[in-house]
Amino acid sequence: MALDLHQIYGADERAETARDMELANAFSNGWFLDPIYNGAYPARFFEHLALNPPAIQEGDLAIIAAPLDFLGVNTYSRTLIRGTQTQPLADRCEAVSPVPNACYTDMGWEIYPRGLRDLLVDLGRTYPVGNLYVTENGAAFPDVLDGDTVNDPRRVDYLRSHITACAEAIEQGAPLRGYFVWSLMDNFEWAEGYTKRFGIIYIDYSTQRRVIKESGQLVCHAAARLSQQE
């Protein structure tokens, strides 16, 4: 199982923010993880969505909670929540966007490597996940082909900081077994078509020529060093 998960943070220390963080976490993460690992939906979850519970048949949740070999984590950024005066529905908590003084990718997603570390650590502490793999993590930037090279220093920084975050998560006990960058090649982004480039290999769409970007060279060199160590 691979899930799109988000680490939830509060914008302040108010009680309303703590309440809304719990709601946002239930909607973004617990909705999927609690049935898989606990055999139940988060407490009052459907009430917080203003929905009637689905018709759950006897044995359904036991099937849903069948053991997994690993949990795949697809994640790109965090969610920063600001509490509201009135209690919102779980899917309508107020997210702070844009975050003041933050850096963003070409998709408009905040770059926050600490979020990856904290998410992996929290997953290992909250659920019996066994093994974790980061199955998607990466960044889109407006890359430009210059002759035979594509310099993408922001993606290089992104990958270095997020792989470092993975190492920090392992040091804190997260059962992380692997990291997969999204993506190997520039491709069709499901919501943005060919306008966003996530790859560590550049694709000239008119000719289908492939050029390894600076970030791709970084990954190749790192893989080579790991092979030598083994």
Q: Report pTM.
A: 0.94
Per-residue pLDDT of 139-177, as tens digits, reads: 999 999 999 999 999 999 999 999 999 999 999 999 999
Q: For residue 73, which of 121, 10, 143, 20 has the smallest C-alpha distance?
A: 121
**171 vs 160: CA distance, rounded Å:** 17
b vs e for 77-105, b when ≥16 Cβ sit within 10 Å of the residue's Cβ? bbbbbbbeeeebebeebbbbeebeeeeeb
Per-residue pLDDT of 76-86, as tens digits, reads: 999 999 999 89
Per-residue pLDDT of 85-132, as tens digits, reads: 898 998 999 999 999 999 999 999 999 999 999 999 999 999 999 999
Kindly give the interhelix angle for 113-126 and 153-171, rounded to the nearest 10 degrees: 30
Largest CA distance in the chain: 63
